[in-house]
Structure 1
Amino acid sequence: MNPSTALGRVLVDELIHAGVTDVVLCAGSRNAPLSLAVSDAERDGRLRLHVRLDERTAGFLALGLARATGRPAAVVTTSGSAVVNLHPAVVEAHHDGVALVLLTADRPPWLRGVGANQVIDQRSVFGAELRFFTEFAVAGRQAGQVAGWRATVDRAVAQARGAGGRPGPVQLNVPLSEPLLPDLDDGTEAWPEPLSGNPRRPGVWTELRFESTSDVFDREPAVPAAEPGEKVLYIAALTSSWAARVARAGGLVISEAGGLAGPDVIPGGVAVLDAGVPAELRPDRVIVLGRPTLFRGVSRLLADSAVVVDVVGDPSWYPDPAARARVVAPGLPSPTPSPPAWAGAWRAAGRAAVAAQERVLAEVADGPIASARLARELTRVLPADSTLLLGSSQPPRDIGRFAVVRPDIRVVANRGVAGIDGLVSTAVGVALGTDGPTVALLGDLTLLHDHTGLMIGPLDRRPDLAIVISSNDGGAIFGGLESGDEQHAHAFERVFGTPHGVSIRELAAATGCDYRSVEAAAGDDLAVALADALDGVRGIRIVEVPTGRADVRGLSRRTSAEVGDAVREALPSAGMRTSPSRAEG
């Protein structure tokens, strides 16, 4: 057996022992020893192998698999620019704490800097975005290497799982010398020491045991408990798993996921914040759960110098862009009920906000389908116990404001750096790693940006996945920002709207995807049409929903104004005196 084959087999074997069940591979020559090792492991039923043509797609596919399974996923690449193409997924994994293991094949070190083909310095590609990096020595035919190889893999997987503070990406750079393919007579007895690990103790070479407490109420230390009469508001990020738990325990919670966080969170909470919080509703303290990034009203509240901010999170890394955090701790005391009148006023305000939004959507129901209406009706008809992956621009904002109450829906999103890249591939990974229906809600630009994620070869498994596209021939979100003001109308379409003119129907056909179109539908007809389009998904189905973006900013302003008026009208009936908002939307 040649040294490169031995090294490849041992590394893959130890990854499996360490808990890796999914490996994504891109073909290459230099990574042949690793490729054959993962192929053999798949044949033996020890892991699931996913082969892709494009390393950027592969990285995000692994990210989706890791999100869905809760286990580290591995990516195997050849040398050179192949490694660089993993960078967008590595950045997302770094910022959002997702465990990825990069197994990057390389030429031997003596070929760096001498003009050799397909050689870059792979040691510095990802910089500080890795939790762990190591480069193996070039393997030789000698005893005494196997234990070190295995122990290094275990250390890397442990760091990926969060042994250093937070989960994240790690890189094992593997210089491989020729020959790269197994010898014809490739018996393991030809190697000077056993390759199969420690025969007296089967399993992982070095077992690393982690703290198993996951309940936020059991963690120590914790942020301070509420004082008697203190008005405490909890702000939960889009994908926070704690929002419903805290709300059920009696906390007053606003979630970026809106109704998908369950019936106990404040209905319409983010809409109230975006419209401007009346002084009567202002909290004494905000406790942050996760990393909220979507809504300007949330950012304003967290920057308010009159409000104390505590953060539940890892003190080694925590969200606090306004530099307002008083205490950061991993645990949370059981919520103490806030003053009943204040809590009741918040719930009344939230209900008024929801009713105001419903009125606005009803008034525009006969025109082009608004993306907000698409979000609301989609959440009505999602199959039970679905996983919903959200794009990074308009979809999560529409969901946070307009989703109906569906606590059975699991929300997944790439909010680490909130880019539009890699979301199709992430959705495919989530679907492959999830039991039950998976639906993605994306914009058309997001689909096109990662259309290579739809390119799955005939030898690889295609998941059951519905991709619902809010299709408006460009970037609708910019119409709702300052760039959508009339003074910028002369340049808007060219530099912000960016129409593409691509036929999504033909893209679906070219990539072997099923295709459905949901045309303009009024009232309940949209929900019926969406339910029909989501029925019986086998393989990947693209559901295109034409949406309007002609007056996104006007609709946003109108909705915010009506919510603000409705909240002020609701407060007297809730026993609260009203006064002007201190924060303007």
Structure 2
Amino acid sequence: MKQQTLNRVWAKLVLMSLQRAGVTDVCIAPGSRSTPLTLEAEALREEGTFPLQLHTHFDERGLGFLALGLAKASEKPVAVIVTSGTAVANLLPAVAESRLTREKLILLTADRPTDLIQCGANQAISQRGIFGDHADTKCDLPSPSETTSPAWLLSTLDESLHQQSLTGGSLHINCPYPEPLYGELEDASEYLSPVSTWLDSQTPYLSFVSAHDNALVLADTFINERWHAAQQKKGVIIVGRVIREDRAAIQTLADRLAWPILCDPQAGRGSDFAGFDGWMQNPACAEFLAQAECVLQFGARLVSKRLGQFFDGFHGEYWLVDNHPGRLDPRHRQQTRIIGNPASIASQLCHTASAIRHANWAAPLSFASQAYMACVQKHAFNGDQLSELAMAADFPHWLLEDSDLFIGNSLAIRLLDMCARLPERHVYANRGASGIDGLIATASGVQRAQQKPMVCLLGDTSALYDLNSLALLANNPYPLVVIVVNNDGGGIFDMLPVPQESKDAFYRMPHGFEFSHAAAMFGLRYQSPVSLEAARSACLEGQTHAGTTLIELRVPAGESGAQLKALFADVVKTSLC
């Protein structure tokens, strides 16, 4: 059988295995060596046995983050096809993020055959293990050969896919294809005869069953006893990255226990204790919260620096509930670690809650939240003047009821954490590595999976870093508003105690750019409002029209840092609780 036929047959078997494991989205970058995978992906989409959407981008780094966003919102594995060489290396930032936040990426990297590696061949680098520990699962295929049974290929793939289904994270499948890559294809029925029954079915090649899928966590006597004891303590519920349905179940539990609930921006809804990253800077509030004897945390990856400081001094009982396995506590404290669905665990805990001893013990902190938010408004609002602090404090009014929210890293997410009580929404962010790379591409992937209006808030340096990915937002069939807060560089560094003479040159790095030409280049609507009311109106209007609107909020460099320092100085000396 000709090599080009074998290459295509193996590519088809790989992609069929992925389809049957639940893959419905494939992200493709251009390249020659990846031709067998690209053409077979197109053929399977046209065949239509399983639904398959193909997404393309010329930038592999952005493509990886596009896939990350699709996986984040759909909660399904997403495949990525790239050619050989440095194209593969450009996937590393997205793979590193998936390692920490457990989205399922399947990286199909075309490669040169072994005899062309490290011998001066063009576009050939060492790709095996290129992602190191950042890829949780690895599958290094040999070059397609008639001496290797298709049954071996299918069982090898399904073992790797099953492992990924258990742990999440990225699966790297390296696919070395010898030339020729093109040419007339032959009949391969004889070679495929050992798996003919599978080809005519719609099931995975291997089936796996877990006996523990529906276990009740409180059926464990040790956990049950600890939970009954914990209810007699002064408790706090902390909510990190969870989905909207989890947040509702956790609220029911908080109401049942009458414990304070501190919600990260990623929690999908604020609480009566909003702004804790600010009011915890008040000594009386910090001292009051320090009475807590038990912390029950749902979801990890917390934004608040002040919560981290609280944990540094906390010596009580600690529970952490998260879907994802692995270590999620950077302080390595003794804990009750529950790996499971947060909504299910919260419901079980709520069902068995009784005789709460210290109900409403932290009610004064809800009044502290109100007083702190009033303080925020005093510092944020100066008539209708547009500032970063005013934007953050007013931001809950910028979202339509059906819109999702994607929050960038650096100062954007911290401002919302400090200054806003977010309404109930689906909220997404890249808070694994918390990098500023790939944010626009990730937001695009999230919206493609959700197919709903969305607002994406990020800073100017983040936008410049991912400018290529604005191409993904052209011809967008859904309303998307990208808000770029342009404070001429890394505004978050204004809070660092570094020498003033070094701050601009080595931290803030002012750029002097504006984004109207970038929006025009990619065919996006563009607005640059100069007042708070105009900015809010532009954002609300953009959520009602198909297509992408880029809203640039131009604010003075250094202003947000000065406002935050003044706010915090006021909070420290104000009576809040």
* Range class of TM-score, shorter chain: 0.7 to 0.9
Cα 1:29–1:444 shift into 2, 3 Å? same
Cα distance in 2 for residues equivalent to 1:217 and 1:354: 39
Residues 1:446 and 2:462 aligned together: yes
The 5-angstrom pairing of residues 73-92 of structure 1 reads 73-92=78-97
Residues 1:547 and 2:555 aligned together: yes
Cα 1:544–1:195 shift into 2, 3 Å? farther
Cα 1:220–1:6 shift into 2, 3 Å? farther
Residues 1:515 and 2:518 aligned together: no
Cα distance in 1 for residues equivalent to 2:59 and 2:215: 36
The answer on whether the counterparts of 2:388 and 2:560 sit within 8 Å (CA) in structure 1 is no
Residues 1:396 and 2:413 aligned together: yes
Q: Once the 2 structures are TM-superposed, how far is the Cα of residue 191 of structure 1 from its aligned partner?
A: 4.2
Structure 2 equivalent of residue 575 of structure 1 = none
Q: Once the 2 structures are TM-superposed, how far is the Cα of residue 323 of structure 1 from its aligned partner?
A: 2.7
Which of 311, 324, 336 aligns to 1:327? It is: 336
The answer on whether the counterparts of 2:460 and 2:489 sit within 8 Å (CA) in structure 1 is yes
**CA offsets per residue over residues 217-260 of structure 1, 9 Å max, x none?**
89998583254541111222255654442232224210112895
2:378 match: secondary structure: helix
**CA offsets per residue over residues 18-52 of structure 1, 9 Å max, x none?**
11000001111111100100111222343100111
Structure 1 equivalent of residue 68 of structure 2 = 63
Cα distance in 1 for residues equivalent to 2:530 and 2:138: 50
Residues 1:298 and 2:307 aligned together: yes
Structure 1 equivalent of residue 171 of structure 2 = 170
Structure 2 equivalent of residue 436 of structure 1 = 452
Residues 1:480 and 2:495 aligned together: yes
**CA offsets per residue over residues 101-141 of structure 1, 9 Å max, x none?**
00111111122222222111111211111221111122123
Cα distance in 1 for residues equivalent to 2:78 and 2:215: 21
The answer on whether the counterparts of 1:352 and 1:563 sit within 8 Å (CA) in structure 2 is no
Cα distance in 2 for residues equivalent to 1:179 and 1:424: 37
Which of 152, 155, 168 aligns to 2:156? It is: 152
The 5-angstrom pairing of residues 121-132 of structure 1 reads 121-132=126-137
Q: Once the 2 structures are TM-superposed, how far is the Cα of residue 449 of structure 1 from its aligned partner?
A: 0.2
2:506 match: secondary structure: helix
Cα distance in 2 for residues equivalent to 1:96 and 1:139: 33
Which of 500, 511, 529 aligns to 1:489? It is: 500
Q: What amino acid does structure 1 have at the position aligned with 2:42?
A: S
Cα distance in 2 for residues equivalent to 1:199 and 1:111: 33
After TM superposition, the structure 1 stretch with the greater mean CA deviation from structure 2, 238-247 or 214-223, is 214-223
1:49 match: secondary structure: strand
The answer on whether the counterparts of 1:269 and 1:350 sit within 8 Å (CA) in structure 2 is yes
2:427 match: secondary structure: strand
Residues 1:4 and 2:3 aligned together: no
The answer on whether the counterparts of 1:66 and 1:73 sit within 8 Å (CA) in structure 2 is yes
The 5-angstrom pairing of residues 90-105 of structure 1 reads 90-105=95-110
Cα distance in 2 for residues equivalent to 1:391 and 1:40: 36
Residues 1:538 and 2:555 aligned together: no
Structure 1 equivalent of residue 37 of structure 2 = 34
Which of 421, 436, 460 aligns to 1:420? It is: 436
**CA offsets per residue over residues 429-472 of structure 1, 9 Å max, x none?**
011111321111011111110111112498x8665421111111
Cα 1:260–1:95 shift into 2, 3 Å? closer
Q: What amino acid does structure 1 have at the position aligned with 2:10?
A: L
Structure 2 equivalent of residue 256 of structure 1 = 264
Structure 1 equivalent of residue 203 of structure 2 = 203
The answer on whether the counterparts of 2:275 and 2:420 sit within 8 Å (CA) in structure 1 is no
The answer on whether the counterparts of 1:259 and 1:404 sit within 8 Å (CA) in structure 2 is no
**CA offsets per residue over residues 74-117 of structure 1, 9 Å max, x none?**
10111111111100000000011111000111111122222222
Structure 2: which 5+ runs fail to align? 340-344
Which structure has greater helix proportion?
Answer: 2
Cα 1:56–1:227 shift into 2, 3 Å? closer
**CA offsets per residue over residues 178-219 of structure 1, 9 Å max, x none?**
2212x4354444645366651575322123346655999899
Which of 378, 387, 410 aligns to 2:395? It is: 378
Cα 1:29–1:146 shift into 2, 3 Å? same
Which of 1, 4, 15 aligns to 2:18? It is: 15
Cα distance in 2 for residues equivalent to 1:347 and 1:466: 33
Normalised TM-score (structure 2): 0.88
Cα distance in 2 for residues equivalent to 1:274 and 1:243: 26
The answer on whether the counterparts of 2:473 and 2:548 sit within 8 Å (CA) in structure 1 is no
Structure 2 equivalent of residue 116 of structure 1 = 121
The answer on whether the counterparts of 2:240 and 2:266 sit within 8 Å (CA) in structure 1 is no
Structure 2 equivalent of residue 193 of structure 1 = 193
Residues 1:506 and 2:509 aligned together: no
Structure 2 equivalent of residue 528 of structure 1 = 537
Matched residues, number: 552
Q: What amino acid does structure 2 have at the position aligned with 1:323?
A: H
The answer on whether the counterparts of 1:274 and 1:296 sit within 8 Å (CA) in structure 2 is no
Q: What RMSD, in angstroms, separates the aligned Cα atoms of the two structures?
A: 2.8
After TM superposition, the structure 1 stretch with the greater mean CA deviation from structure 2, 27-36 or 288-297, is 288-297
2:376 match: secondary structure: helix
Q: Once the 2 structures are TM-superposed, how far is the Cα of residue 62 of structure 1 from its aligned partner?
A: 0.3
Normalised TM-score (structure 1): 0.87
The answer on whether the counterparts of 1:62 and 1:75 sit within 8 Å (CA) in structure 2 is yes
Q: What amino acid does structure 1 have at the position aligned with 2:181?
A: L
Cα distance in 2 for residues equivalent to 1:61 and 1:191: 36
The answer on whether the counterparts of 1:197 and 1:205 sit within 8 Å (CA) in structure 2 is no
Q: Once the 2 structures are TM-superposed, how far is the Cα of residue 275 of structure 1 from its aligned partner?
A: 3.7
Structure 1 equivalent of residue 342 of structure 2 = none
Cα distance in 1 for residues equivalent to 2:161 and 2:231: 45
Q: Once the 2 structures are TM-superposed, how far is the Cα of residue 148 of structure 1 from its aligned partner?
A: 2.1
Structure 1: which 5+ runs fail to align? 572-585
The answer on whether the counterparts of 1:57 and 1:453 sit within 8 Å (CA) in structure 2 is yes
Which of 43, 47, 65 aligns to 1:44? It is: 47
Q: What amino acid does structure 2 have at the position aligned with 1:232?
A: G
Q: What amino acid does structure 2 have at the position aligned with 1:358?
A: Q
